[in-house]
A = this chain, B = another copy of it.
């Protein structure tokens, strides 16, 4: 793609900036993680599984913000690489508990180092305090309530 510098009309539009920042980061991420045989989404799955014990597929999907049908493929791929394993929950046999294998834990550890290094490079054009503020600002807009589906005032919906 012929990638011009962002023209003035677009460089202050949030849509353009967020999209292209995300695309840029995705490329860097793919490059940084390639040696470990996983991509950024898979690494996030490993991280979530490592941080919580006994997560079912659906619970993990909820934390990751992906659809449960998407989670199937994600776990399939990681299981194929023997980084996680499925195990039916004895308490509720509808659930697949997904656990890191020892290899998965090790891979997570290595890849996390690479990811942090990649993010450091990505944020290099910013001062340390600006970088920290960027992260805080993003966290803030991401977790603030959406104006989206006309909010129901019916308490039963919560």
List residues of chain A with CB under 8 Å of any chain B CB. Answer: 1-22, 24-29, 31, 40, 44, 47-48, 50-52, 58, 61-67, 115, 119, 121-126, 130-131, 133-135, 137-144, 146-148
Contacts and interface: CB of A to CB of B under 8 A. Distances in A.
Given A1-B65, A31-B147, A142-B24, A126 B122 contact: no
A141 B17 CA distance: 9
Nearest to A63: B7
> Main secondary structure on chain A at its contact with chain B?
helix
A137 B122 CA distance: 11
A73 to B, nearest CB: 16
Contacts of A58: 2
Contacts of A44: 10, 13, 15-16
Given A61-B2, A137-B133, A51 B143 contact: no
